[in-house]
Amino acid sequence: MSFTLRTYRDADLPALRSVLEDPAIVAQFDMYEGDDGAERLLGDPFTPADGVSLAFVGGEPAGFACAILIPSEPPWSMLRGGVLPGFRRRGIGTALHRRTADYVRTQTRLAGVRDLATAAWQPLEIPTAFAEHLGYRHDRWFWLMRRERGGRSPEPTWPAGITVRAFDDSDAMLADYQAAYHDSFASHYRFTPASLAELRAFTRKPGFRTDGVLLAYRDGRPVGFCRNELFASRGEIGTLGTVHTARGIGLGRALLRWGVAWLERETPHAVTLLVDGENESALALYRSEGFEVARTRRIWAQPVRA
Say how many domains are in the chain.
2
Asked if residue 251 is part of any domain, the answer here is yes
Q: What's the confidence (pLDDT) of residue 168?
A: 94
d(CA 118, CA 130): 11
More confident residue, 149 or 270: 270
Q: What's the confidence (pLDDT) of residue 196?
A: 94
* 172/262 same-domain check: yes
Amino acid, res. 17:
R
pLDDT in tens, 98-135: 999 999 999 999 999 999 999 999 877 777 888 989 99
* 259/157 same-domain check: yes
Asked if residue 8 is part of any domain, the answer here is yes
| Residue ranges making up the domain that contains 188 | 149-269
Q: What's the confidence (pLDDT) of residue 267?
A: 94
Q: Percent of the chain having pLDDT more than 70?
A: 99
Q: What's the confidence (pLDDT) of residue 151?
A: 67
* 252/153 same-domain check: yes
pLDDT in tens, 132-191: 899 999 999 999 999 988 766 788 999 999 999 999 989 999 999 999 999 999 999 999
pLDDT band, residue 1 (cuts 50/70/90) = confident
Long-range contacts of 279-288 (CB under 8 A, 24+ apart): 279/188, 282/252, 283/143, 285/252, 285/253, 285/256, 286/145, 286/256, 287/145, 288/253
* 265/153 same-domain check: yes
Determine if the pTM surpasses 0.75: yes
- In three state form, how does the secondary structure of 230-276 look? ECCCCEEEEEEEECHHHCCCCHHHHHHHHHHHHHHHHCCCCEEEEEE
- The CATH number given to whatever domain includes residue 205 is 3.40.630.30
Q: What's the confidence (pLDDT) of residue 110?
A: 96
* 159/260 same-domain check: yes
d(CA 135, CA 147): 36
**Residues, the chain, total?**
306
State the burial class of residue 300 (Cβ atoms within 10 Å of its Cβ: 0-12, 13-18, 19+). buried
Q: What's the confidence (pLDDT) of residue 152?
A: 67
pLDDT in tens, 12-65: 999 999 999 999 999 999 999 999 999 999 999 999 999 999 999 999 999 999
Q: What's the confidence (pLDDT) of residue 139?
A: 96
Q: What's the confidence (pLDDT) of residue 123?
A: 78
Asked if residue 39 is part of any domain, the answer here is yes
Q: Indicate the average pLDDT of the chain.
A: 94
* 164/235 same-domain check: yes
Residue 213 CB: number of other CB atoms within 10 A?
23
* 154/265 same-domain check: yes
At which of 113, 132, 157 does a domain end? Answer: 113
Q: What's the confidence (pLDDT) of residue 255?
A: 98
